[in-house]
Amino acid sequence: MADFHLHRVNETRWQIPRDERRGMRTHVVIYASDALMEHIRKDLSLEQGINVATLPGIVGPSLAMPDIHQGYGFPIGGVAATDMDYGVVSPGGVGFDINCGVRLVRTSLAEADVRPRLRDLINQIFRDVPCGTGGAGFVKIDREGLKRLLVDGARWMVRNGYGFARDAEFAEAGGALEGADPDAVSDRAKERGQPQLGTLGSGNHFLEVQFVDEVHDEEAARTLGLSKDQVVVLIHSGSRGLGHQVCTDYVAEMNKVMKKYNITLPDRQLACAPIRSEEGQRYLGAMAAAANFAWANRQGITHFLRGAFRRIFDDDTRLELVYDVCHNIAKRETHEVEGRKHAVLVHRKGATRAFPPGHREIPGDYREVGQPVFIPGSMGTASWVLTGAEGAMRETFGSVCHGAGRLLSRTAVRKGKDARQEQKKLEEAGILVRSETRDGILEELPEAYKNVDEVIEVVHQAGLARKVARLRPMGVIKG
């Protein structure tokens, strides 16, 4: 039996009250339906939500989104804000894939244009968008250029011919976080990341050609340039080896210095240091640099993607960025807490920023409808376009879920299955899949994930975000 009290607050909210015996400094709030809670209770995600509630300087509750599942240290699908003056920063609370995120690219093509040439298109994208498992470089860049890219993010890519100015403008934070410190990024991290710039990676990363299946909010969809049957491309990737190494370096460092700051935690992966400490500041500088690398990385992928579309369709085919959001990040933001403005560091670990209409950080074209949010589902089901809503600002530090959430472990889902057969089954359902690795298909099968529609229903009902459109996959590239 789990050693905590979980009670239901209303249709979409649950709570675990603060328990001092467990070192909790605050309570835990979970957004979930009955059905989703049944899944959530099966793994350690609630325990991990409690661990997050022990972090020094946590402001407001430890928050869990409906797609929450067990991570390492922090749960995936968790949000925690810490006080800028006396709170901590935890590299594990951001994760090894710093600024893992998704971007949606809209095309000037309709499903009927693409369907007859889908196989050629998917094969072309598979050739042109590298997964990055081989170690060769794809974006021409030297060490000096990399240092500049770590400060300028997507803008460096645009300046060097890998995109258009609009691409950077329509990314969260303009495609470059302020405060990046390339010198806080180790040489090893730079060496590991440089040849991987512009590559997809593996695991749950993917590139999906999809079409708009349902429009739920006509006005918002029009504002985002989306309409029924239009073909779009969803790209899910992060900061590759550069970000992984930054996190590795700083979790190790913080494990060394925690004693100095009198911090003890229930799991070493939660290792943290005061935001104001030298270690905290260096990490934040390195994290911002890695986040910028991730935006540049997704920009590189977008560039290669455009090339692939042009080879299959004519030169007039337009591919425009709708928006780009990160879901593994810690950001300095100001939020209202108990009626007062509070400067906090919002850790989003598998959670997406979802600012409501009118927020000044949303590009002018979209400001009236709210910040676009993209929620990828599994490769056989659906993905969603949402916009941020006021509830997120009131309750979740402007955050919402990031995916469907895993249901089955990698070993459990592949048991007794054959990659080629599964690929055929998906093909019969109208979804072509190409993968660099066999495991890439088997471990990411649709049954490994919760039902994304159920997750979306909860955040929509809870008023954290609004449904705009549902997207269905036609072709998937996996690492």
Q: How far is the CB of 22 from other proteins (least distance, A)?
A: 17
- 394 near other proteins, judged by CB under 8 A: no
| 268 is an interface residue for other proteins by CB under 8 A | yes
Q: What gap in Å lies between CA 232 and CA 103, rounded to an integer?
A: 10
- Give CA–CA dist 362/372, Å, rounded: 9
Q: How far is the CB of 393 from other proteins (least distance, A)?
A: 29
Binding other proteins by CB under 8 A: which of 436, 446, 451, 459?
436
Q: Which is nearer to other proteins, 182 or 479 (CB)?
A: 479
> Helix, strand or coil for residue 326?
strand
| CA proximity to 478, closest of 158, 186, 109, 206 | 206
Buried b (16+ CB within 10 A) or exposed e, 350-366: bbbbbbbbebeebeeeb
Catalytic, 402? Answer yes
Q: Quick check: 266 and 162 in contact, CB under 8 A?
A: no
CA distance 442 to 341: 47
Greatest C-alpha distance within the chain:
65
Locate 387 and state its tokens: 């916009």
Bridge partners of 326? 101
Segment interacting with other proteins, rule: CB under 8 A, options 118-126, 216-224, 362-370, 439-447: 439-447
Burial class (CB in 10 A: 0-12, 13-18, 19+), 289: buried
Q: With binding defined as CB under 8 A, does residue 267 bind other proteins?
A: yes
Let me know: does 383 contact 233? Beta carbons within 8 Å: no
107 belongs to the binding site for other proteins (CB under 8 A): no
Residue 378, interface with other proteins (CB under 8 A)?
no
Window of 215-223, 318-326, 423-431, 435-443 that interacts with other proteins by CB under 8 A:
435-443
Q: Is 96 in the site for other proteins (CB under 8 A)?
A: yes
Binding mask 118-157 for other proteins (x = CB under 8 A): --------------xxxx----------------------
For residues 292 to 311, the per-residue mask of contacts with other proteins, x marking binding by CB under 8 A and - elsewhere, is --------------------
Verify binding: residue 47, other proteins, rule CB under 8 A: no
Residue number with CB closer to other proteins (97 or 395) = 97
Using the rule CB under 8 A, give the single segment among 57-65, 104-112, 165-173, 267-275 that binds other proteins.
267-275
Under the criterion CB under 8 A, does residue 251 sit at the interface with other proteins? yes
Question: What is the number of helices (H) and of strands (E) in the chain?
Answer: 16, 19
Instruction: Supply the DSSP string of 344-407, one letter for each residue.
Output: EEEEEES-EE-PPTT-TTS-GGGTTT--EEEE---TTS-EEEEEE-HHHHHHSSSEE--S--B-
CA torsion angle 29 30 33 34 (round to 10): -90
Pick the piece of the chain touching other proteins (CB under 8 A) from 10-18, 30-38, 71-79, 460-468: 71-79
Residue given tokens 């933001």 in the structure block: 333
Distance in Å, CB of 247 to other proteins, minimum: 6
> Which of the following is catalytic: 205, 236, 402, 460?
402
197 binds other proteins (CB under 8 A): no
Single residue of 262, 264, 411, 421 touching other proteins by CB under 8 A? 411
Asked if 49 is part of the footprint of other proteins (rule: CB under 8 A), the reply reads no
225 φψ region: left (φ > 0), alpha (ψ -120 to 50), beta (else): left
Q: What's the DSSP call for residue 75?
A: P
Residue 439 interacts with other proteins (CB under 8 A)?
Answer: yes
Q: Is 449 in the site for other proteins (CB under 8 A)?
A: no
The residues, any chain, with a CB within 8 Å of residue 123's CB and separated by 6 or more, are 434
192 vs 353 by CB, closer to other proteins: 192
Provide, rounded to whole angstroms, the least separation between the CB of residue 75 and other proteins.
10
Q: Contact between 376 and other proteins (CB under 8 A)? A: no
Q: Pick from 300, 440, 446, 473: which binds other proteins (CB under 8 A)?
A: 440
**14 to 28, 402, 476: CA distances (angstroms):** 8, 19, 35
Q: Give the separation between CA 216 and CA 293, rounded to whole angstroms.
A: 34
* Among 106, 147, 155, 192, contact with other proteins (rule: CB under 8 A): 192
416 binds other proteins (CB under 8 A): no
Please, what is the minimum distance in Å from the beta carbon of residue 357 to other proteins?
33
Give the C-alpha separation, 347 to 372, whole Å. Answer: 19
Catalytic residues: 402
Can you give the binding site for other proteins, defined by CB under 8 A?
43, 45, 69-73, 76, 92, 95-97, 132-135, 188, 191-192, 195, 201-203, 241, 244-245, 247-248, 251-252, 255-256, 267-269, 271, 406-412, 436-440, 443, 479
